[in-house]
Structure 1
């Protein structure tokens, strides 16, 4: 169980971020996790990088 100080620190850290939840087809979660691990990234880092790269690519095509 986290101490009160740890809970406050976690809450302060979470304030720096927005949260997006999304669903993937059954079985794709493990595929994404395995790919992220193979790239040396967390799933969160991989998804953020993939989104950033797609947006940059889409904007460059305009």
Structure 2
């Protein structure tokens, strides 16, 4: 079944309420390098970046 316009609006409203967005600027070509690095760990690039940030925060709180 196709994704309806009302479903799209509801999803966008939820995402706006539940999540913050962060934009990264990378040198040309680095996105694919980082994406491959994340894939090597079995993660999406987003999940990999978050895991690195959380690990760093945890290390600093110890």
Question: 5+ unaligned residues in a row in structure 1: which ranges?
Answer: none
Of 32, 35, 52, which residue of structure 2 is paired with 1:33? 35
Question: 5+ unaligned residues in a row in structure 2: which ranges?
Answer: none
Moved over 6 A (4+): none
Q: TM-score, normalised by structure 1?
A: 0.75
- Count of residues in Structure 1 that have an aligned counterpart in Structure 2: 60
Q: TM-score, normalised by structure 2?
A: 0.75
CA RMSD of aligned residues (A): 1.9
